Chain A
Amino acid sequence: MPVSPLVEITFALSALVILLASLAVVLIKNPVRATLMLILSFLPTSLIYILLQASFVGILQILVYAGAIMMLFTFVIMMINPSPNEGDAPAGGSESAFTGLRGGLVGFLIIGLAGTMVIPMIYHAAASLPVQAVTKPHFGELSSIAALLFEDPANNPLTVSFELISFLILVGIIAALNFSRRKGGQTVDEDSISTRPTEALPIVKRQSGIEAMERK
């Protein structure tokens, strides 16, 4: 299929930026900068989605991924406030086979070997699939995806599974709330609350059930 040279150049540049930003995510030591680099790598990804005629998916990539999920990461990183030299080996930590750059290289080699063994099979399978060029009039637009998901909802399996995602998110909300709940309804003394971010989270003291009952 004939493609304009602008598309080729945009794809090549976006792929380059995605790879460089993802490498920076893995290699940069400062966690806040790594998160910002991941957001930077999402922007050309959405450009590639738009080249693939998936405009709604490209919008979702920016709105949901870069906007919501990465903001969650940024908030937690700023709340915990780890040291900027996170990538360094911990002081006095035990050296296992999977620490540091050596462990990274071992994992990289294992998965790289698996990938190079798998990718010819994927190419073969992709070549044996019949090429079905995009012929649908509004391919990838919101109205078309909505028609795919919600047309004839009584017999459409995609409608049911799409609604089931909301139950998955509900389960996630309940799990996150349950994790963050204080055990035994303890209250925090006003004096122990500090405005410094590293001291703002007090270490929760465990108390047995008998002690909690005696206190009542």
Chain B
Amino acid sequence: MIPHVFNLQNCLALSLLLVLIGSFGVFRRHSLIMILLSVEVMLNGVNLSLVAFNYFRWGTSETSHYLYMLSIGVAAVEAAVGLSMIIVLFKNFNDITRERISRLGERSA
């Protein structure tokens, strides 16, 4: 007998775990690109919870699907602007670790 796992609770738990993994990466990584990648993992978890709520609790309308489209639009803009900022930082400092950025352009002592 296969247990009943496809329900709202398990989808929400999966999305919480994805957000936790992404936040772990945000705190752990040094490179700004990898921090942006971890933010994408967190966004993925949030989108999953949106669509799961829509399916299990609001089956009469697809409003969360629209919210998902809005969310990936924002994610695309965030990735484009963030990556172009990273390229400018790499041009100027030749280094994209967050330890270098946190000095705000001052020379290290």
Instruction: Tell whether, in the assembled complex, residue B14 and residue A73 are in contact, meaning their CB atoms are under 8 Å apart.
Output: no
Q: Which residues of A contact B16 (CB under 8 A)?
A: 115, 119
Known: A38-B40, A57-B68. A73 touches B27 (CB 8 A): no
A135 to chain B, nearest CB (A): 6
Which B residue sits closest to A158, measured CB to CB? Answer: B66
Which B residue sits closest to A111, measured CB to CB? Answer: B23
Q: Which residues of A contact B94 (CB under 8 A)?
A: 203
Q: A160 on the interface (CB 8 Å rule)?
A: no
Instruction: Tell whether, in the assembled complex, residue B30 and residue A87 are in contact, meaning their CB atoms are under 8 Å apart.
Output: yes
Instruction: Tell whether, in the assembled complex, residue B38 and residue A57 are in contact, meaning their CB atoms are under 8 Å apart.
Output: no
Q: Which residues of A contact B65 (CB under 8 A)?
A: 54, 56-57, 140, 145
Q: A168 on the interface (CB 8 Å rule)?
A: yes
Instruction: Tell whether, in the assembled complex, residue B12 and residue A126 are in contact, meaning their CB atoms are under 8 Å apart.
Output: yes
The one of B38, B77, B84, B99 in contact with A25, judged by C-beta atoms closer than 8 angstroms, is B38
Q: Which residues of A contact B20 (CB under 8 A)?
A: 108, 111-112, 115
Which A residue sits closest to B44, measured CB to CB? Answer: A45
Q: A129 on the interface (CB 8 Å rule)?
A: yes
For the complex, count residues of B whose C-beta is within 8 A of A: 80
Q: Which residues of B contact A179 (CB under 8 A)?
A: 81, 84-85, 87-88
A52 to B9, CA, bound (A): 14
Q: Which residues of A contact B96 (CB under 8 A)?
A: 80, 82
Contact with B along A172-186 (1 / 0, CB 8 A): 110110011000000
Which A residue sits closest to B56, measured CB to CB? Answer: A131
Known: A15-B10, A179-B88. A94 touches B31 (CB 8 A): no
Instruction: Tell whether, in the assembled complex, residue B62 and residue A26 are in contact, meaning their CB atoms are under 8 Å apart.
Output: no
Q: A193 on the interface (CB 8 Å rule)?
A: no
A139 to B65, CA, bound (A): 10
Known: A60-B68, A123-B12. A73 touches B33 (CB 8 A): yes
Q: A213 on the interface (CB 8 Å rule)?
A: no
Known: A42-B44, A57-B65, A172-B81. A80 touches B90 (CB 8 A): yes
Q: Which residues of A contact B (CB under 8 A)?
A: 3, 5, 7-9, 11-12, 15, 18-19, 22-23, 25-26, 31, 34-35, 38, 41-42, 45, 48-49, 51-54, 56-57, 60-61, 64-65, 68-69, 72-73, 76-77, 79-80, 82, 86-87, 89-90, 92-94, 98-101, 103-104, 106-108, 111-112, 115, 119, 122-123, 126, 129-136, 139-140, 144-145, 148-149, 158, 161-162, 165, 168-169, 171-173, 175-176, 179-180, 201-204
A-B contact pairs, 11 of them (CB 8 A): A8-B6, A15-B14, A25-B37, A26-B41, A45-B48, A54-B65, A69-B75, A72-B80, A173-B80, A176-B83, A203-B92
